[in-house]
Amino acid sequence: MKKTVLLAGTALALAFGISTAEAAKLKACWVYTGPIGDFGYSYQHDQGRLAVEKELGDKVETAYVENVAEGPDAERVFERFAREGCGIVFGTSFGFMDAELKVAKKFPKVKFEHATGYKSAPNMGLYNARFYEGRYILGQIAAKESKAGVAGYIVSFPIPEVVMGINAFMLGAQSVNPNFKAKIVWVNSWFDPGKEADAAKALFDQGADIIVQHTDSTAAIQVAEERGLKGFGQSSDMAKFAPKAQLTAIVDNWGPHYIKSVKAVLDGTWKPGDAWEGIKDGTVHMADFANMSDDTKKLAEATEAKIVAGWNPFTGPIADQDGKERYAAGVVAPDKDLLGMNWYVKGVDDKLPQ
Amino acid sequence: MLEAFILTVITAATPLMLAALGELVVERSGVLNLGVEGMMVMGAVAGFAVTISTGSPWLGVLAGAAAGLLTSLLFAVVTLTLVANQVASGLALTMFGLGLSGLIGESFVGQPGIKLQPANIPGLTDLPVVGRILFGQDALVYLSFVMIVVVSLFLFRSRAGLILRAVGDNHSSAHALGYSVIKVRYLAVMFGGAMAGLGGAYLSVAYTPLWVENMTAGRGWIALALVVFASWTPLRIFFGAYLFGAVTVLQFHAQALGIGFPSQFLSMLPYVATVVVLVAISGNRRATLFNTPACLGQSFVPDR
């Protein structure tokens, strides 16, 4: 209900505010699922929007609507943006897929891009980030730095993106220490600082000495800081919150992609792409490697360089939990498999919630 | 291990206990304020903002209580003076609080907070096992226990508490006896607001020193459920809050131990417990009538 109210308000403001836009400027528009104040997913997308403003200056004008519920509400927002002269509209959440596609078909002259989905159209491209590349590096760092040989892993929901992350982390950890363990705790929420802190405490109490998270707040790493243990930031660089605990962070850096797309629209060269970008493209950015031994740092940097050079962490041999071989030695898991991943690699000590 | 578990449960239970105690007094006066979530989140943002602006978590806590109180005043004016529907106004208050706190807090996102430090009494805090549990908590934890006693004594051992319960049970009679129903309810709502604000400030100043939109994540609703769970008695609020806290923390421990139990089921448990208690108390008609404020949610208009 709250979202609807906010939405109605924003839509109204847009209706009155933007009709005076100059025709010469390109208008780029963003639709966010959360508040830009989440210091996580939507916040990072908005940082990308700000990067576009900074880079292209007065050639563009940007607009955004935050807190858009996934579903019919989203369709209204996309349609309004399309009618109001947006040249390109970015839908930043998986759940906007169908709504955005519908509007894209209705407005063939407007360009659309959708994040993390799989449906496209002649005027709707896809973009995503290979966060798993970063997770592999986290796994290696964790296995190197952990004295207990056990990491605590806080996760939200069992969707492919999250499972892919756990697997990449474990593959990285096992490449250093084949007996490395991760204790996995599902908090069933993307975002609940209190629960995330409680989960972190429970994991530390049970002997983990490094915390990994696939939830959005800084609560877990703050617990690590308090206890003098280590952890990784998520989505944003959280070093400010945990200067002694943060080993590194996987930062969602959408700026380069957004700048590229908006520039392409300005030059008239935009094509609906299927961009799944990673560390190489700058979309996945590793925060400073800190609070670790030089040895670990070297390994992390070497792996980062290897990934930039084109190596994929999901290169066989990879066996699943039951020991069945999924990819033979040298075989790289195709993207389609990764995007639908619903099984654990060998050594994960958890049953995947079905 | 047990010590660590209890320490975690205490931090999980305290915000619930503070907010639920406040709402209990409100409901005992016959007012149903569904805006606990909104008041809590206002307390959280004000607590955080004042803490990092002044550098003092204490001022932050006070600001949290004040913000909760001010937010509740809005509800009081709308429902008590203007006699609007309490359910609708309470829901609106929650949405209002969530929206306004996001607006106020925008510039505080991504800034690390300052944590309210726990007590450290030389000699006592270092005692094995019980030391940190009994003597190493922050002030708000102790306050939450003091408030259980204070609210109990107030409601059942003081004249003012008797008047408040009379207003909640039969506002017409209380009015006929010459008590100001509206004044009593104003005070009760303001107390509830301040307590919810304290609960919110506990989140952003002591529990997880950070601010993000929506950080209460439904705790206001759990506090509301707790009041019913406790069948409107302060002591049972304590049991309820610690039970809810314990179940939440226990399920994380169970998962980390690799006990193959669906986490969704465990997340559901506190609410199942509430339903079970509701069924149990509605089975005992006399107990229900004894504790449930009879005028709960009913507006009062003085006839002269």
ipTM confidence? 0.86
Q: What is the Cα Rg of chain A in Å? A: 21
Taking residue A94's Cβ as centre, other Cβ atoms within 10 Å add up to 16
Reduced to 3 states, what is the DSSP secondary structure of residue A60? Answer: strand
Distance (Å) from the alpha carbon of B283 to chain A's nearest alpha carbon: 34
From chain A residues 125-184, the ones with a CB under 8 A of any chain B CB are 152, 183-184
Kindly tell me if the per-residue pLDDT of A16 is higher than 60: no
Q: Which DSSP symbol is given to A89?
A: E
Tell me the CA distances in angstroms from A248 to A236, A288, B300, one per residue in order: 10, 6, 59
Kindly tell me if the per-residue pLDDT of B292 is higher than 90: no
Mean pLDDT of A253-257: 93
Q: Which of A108-112, A150-154, A238-242, B272-276 has the lowest mean pLDDT?
A: B272-276
Tokens of A72: 């019919």
Q: Which of B50, B137, B52 has the alpha carbon at shortest distance from A240?
A: B52
Kindly tell me if the per-residue pLDDT of B209 is higher than 70: yes
Pairwise CB contact (< 8 Å): B217 & A37: no
Each residue's pLDDT tens digit, B115-172? 988 888 888 888 877 888 888 899 999 999 999 999 999 999 999 999 999 999 999 9
Looking at residue A48, what is its pLDDT? 95
Q: Which of A47, A50, A101 has the alpha carbon at shortest distance from A74?
A: A101
Pairwise CB contact (< 8 Å): A38 & B219: no
Average pLDDT, chain A: 89
Instruction: Give the pTM.
Output: 0.85
Q: Which of A46, A51, A92, A88 has the alpha carbon at shortest distance from A68?
A: A92
Cβ neighbourhood burial of A238 (10 Å; 0-12, 13-18, 19+)? buried
Chain B residues in contact with A186 (beta carbon < 8 A): 255, 263
CB A249 within 8 A of CB A234: yes
For residues B33 and B23, what is the distance between their CA atoms, to the nearest angstrom?
7
Q: Which of A129-138, B44-53, B174-183, B250-259 has the lowest mean pLDDT?
A: B250-259
Distance (Å) from the alpha carbon of A279 to chain B's nearest alpha carbon: 24
Tell me the CA distances in angstroms from B254 to A187, A203, A209, B266, one per residue in order: 12, 10, 18, 9
Distance (Å) from the alpha carbon of B185 to chain A's nearest alpha carbon: 27
Q: Which of A38-42, B22-26, B100-104 has the lowest mean pLDDT?
A: A38-42
Residue of chain B with shortest Cα separation from A9: B99
Kindly tell me if the per-residue pLDDT of A10 is higher than 90: no
For residues A85 and A23, what is the distance between their CA atoms, to the nearest angstrom?
8
Pairwise CB contact (< 8 Å): A351 & B260: yes
CB–CB contacts below 8 A, A to B: 129
Chain A residues in contact with B263 (beta carbon < 8 A): 185-188, 353
Mean pLDDT of A332-340: 89
Mean pLDDT of B51-58: 95
- Axis-axis angle for helices B139-157, B181-201 (nearest 10): 160
Chain A residues in contact with B3 (beta carbon < 8 A): none
The closest CB to that of A219, out of B15, B111, B208, belongs to B208
Looking at residue B110, what is its pLDDT? 83
Q: Which of A253-267, B3-17, B240-254 has the lowest mean pLDDT?
A: B240-254
Average pLDDT, chain B: 90
Looking at residue A15, what is its pLDDT? 44
Mean pLDDT of B229-254: 89
For residues A44 and A120, what is the distance between their CA atoms, to the nearest angstrom?
23
Distance (Å) from the alpha carbon of B186 to chain A's nearest alpha carbon: 26
Sheet containing A60-65: order of strands: A60-65, A26-31, A88-91, A111-115, A124-129, A274-277
Could you tell me the pLDDT band of residue A354, with boundaries at 50, 70 and 90? Answer: low
Taking residue A315's Cβ as centre, other Cβ atoms within 10 Å add up to 14
Residue of chain B with shortest Cα separation from A2: B95
Looking at residue B155, what is its pLDDT? 95
Q: Which of A47-51, A94-98, B57-61 has the lowest mean pLDDT?
A: A94-98
Looking at residue A5, what is its pLDDT? 47
Distance (Å) from the alpha carbon of A244 to chain B's nearest alpha carbon: 13
From chain A residues 15-74, the ones with a CB under 8 A of any chain B CB are 34-35, 37-40, 43
CB A235 within 8 A of CB A41: yes
Looking at residue A18, what is its pLDDT? 44
User: Of A1, A2, A41, A67, which to mutate for an interface test with B (greatest number of B Cβ within 10 Å)?
Assistant: A2
Mean pLDDT of B248-255: 86
Please provide the DSSP assignment of chain B as one string.
-HHHHHHHHHHHHHHHHHHHHHHHHHHHTT---TTHHHHHHHHHHHHHHHHHHHS-HHHHHHHHHHHHHHHHHHHHIIIIIS---HHHHHHHHHHHHHHHHHHHHGGGTT----PPPPP--TTTTTSTTHHHHHHS--HHHHHHHHHHHHHHHHHHHSHHHHHHHHHHH-HHHHHHTT--HHHHHHHHHHHHHHHHHHHHHIIIIIIS----TTTTTTHHHHHHHHHHHTTT-HHHHHHHHHHHHHHHHHHHHHHHTT----HHHHHHHHHHHHHHHHHHHHHSHHHHHHHS-TTTT-------
Kindly tell me if the per-residue pLDDT of A116 is higher than 50: yes
CB B68 within 8 A of CB B200: yes
Looking at residue B134, what is its pLDDT? 85
Pairwise CB contact (< 8 Å): B257 & A206: yes
Residue of chain B with shortest Cα separation from A350: B258
Pairwise CB contact (< 8 Å): B252 & A37: no
| Length of chain A in terms of residues written | 354
- Axis-axis angle for helices B57-76, B36-54 (nearest 10): 150
Pairwise CB contact (< 8 Å): A202 & B217: no
From chain A residues 223-282, the ones with a CB under 8 A of any chain B CB are 226, 236, 240-241
Looking at residue A21, what is its pLDDT? 43
Kindly tell me if the per-residue pLDDT of A190 is higher than 70: yes
Residue whose tokens read 């206001």: B220
Each residue's pLDDT tens digit, A220-241? 999 999 999 999 999 889 999 9
User: Of B3, B40, B100, B212, which to mutate for an interface test with A (greatest number of A Cβ within 10 Å)?
Assistant: B212
Chain A residues in contact with B208 (beta carbon < 8 A): 193-194, 196-197, 217-219, 222
Kindly tell me if the per-residue pLDDT of A12 is higher than 80: no
